């Protein structure tokens, strides 16, 4: 089973649209092909952004997605996350990296190219691959 950690923006995108890479990832999560991991920080961020920017039906879809994908919550130590990853990325995103590391995932999925797909991050070594959801889906199709 493939283990994935989803950034808040992937939940946001899937809640907004039933098509696209994020929705496809979460559809796979309903099956036995993917095991999704999250932190409460990520889920709260996604919910907050949806509440501030989207209509109520998008928020209801978000709750449905979280329930259906059965994300396993991992707990992180924020200080450890910052200590480990602050040299590479901004404070808020250290929690994402730490969640992925702690969950021992194969992939971290995010749309945040600016912070996760820059030169510094591309040269860093992680025990997981960082991809956009659509790229991840294409990668699975090739396997």
- Locate the DSSP E strands across the chain: 2-6, 34-38, 72-73, 107-109, 129-131
| Domain that residue 53 falls in | 2-142
Average pLDDT on 82-109 reads 96
pLDDT greater than 80 at residue 120: yes
Write the burial class of residue 20 (CB in 10 Å: 0-12 exposed, 13-18 middle, 19+ buried). Answer: middle
Which domain CATH number covers 76?
3.40.50.1010
Could you give the C-alpha distances from 92 to 38, 89, 131, 136, in angstroms and in order? 15, 8, 18, 23
Question: Residue 93 region, left (φ>0) first, then alpha (ψ -120 to 50), else beta?
Answer: alpha
Look at the chain and report how many structural domains it folds into: 1
Query: Contact, 5 vs 125, CB < 8 A?
Result: no
pLDDT tens by residue, 18-45: 999 999 999 999 887 899 999 999 999 9
Is residue 94 scored above 80 in pLDDT? yes
Q: Which two tokens stand for residue 21?
A: 């890479």
> Which of 47, 29, 13, 50 is closest to 107 using CA atoms?
29
Confidence of residue 143 (pLDDT cuts 50, 70, 90): low
């Amino acid at each position: 089973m493939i283990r994935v950690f989803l950034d808040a923006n992937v939940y946001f995108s899937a809640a907004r649209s039933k098509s696209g890479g994020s929705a496809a990832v979460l559809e796979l999560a309903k099956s036995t092909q993917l095991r999704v991991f999250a932190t409460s920080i990520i889920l709260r961020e996604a919910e907050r952004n949806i509440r501030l920017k989207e209509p109520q039906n998008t928020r209801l879809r978000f709750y449905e997605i979280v329930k259906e994908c059965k994300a396993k919550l991992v707990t992180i130590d924020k200080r450890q996350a910052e200590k480990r990853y602050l040299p590479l990325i901004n404070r808020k995103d250290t929690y994402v990296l730490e969640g992925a590391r702690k969950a021992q995932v194969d992939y971290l999925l995010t749309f945040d190219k600016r912070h996760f797909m820059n030169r510094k991050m591309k040269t860093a070594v992680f025990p997981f691959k960082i991809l956009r959801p659509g790229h991840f889906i294409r990668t699975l199709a090739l396997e």
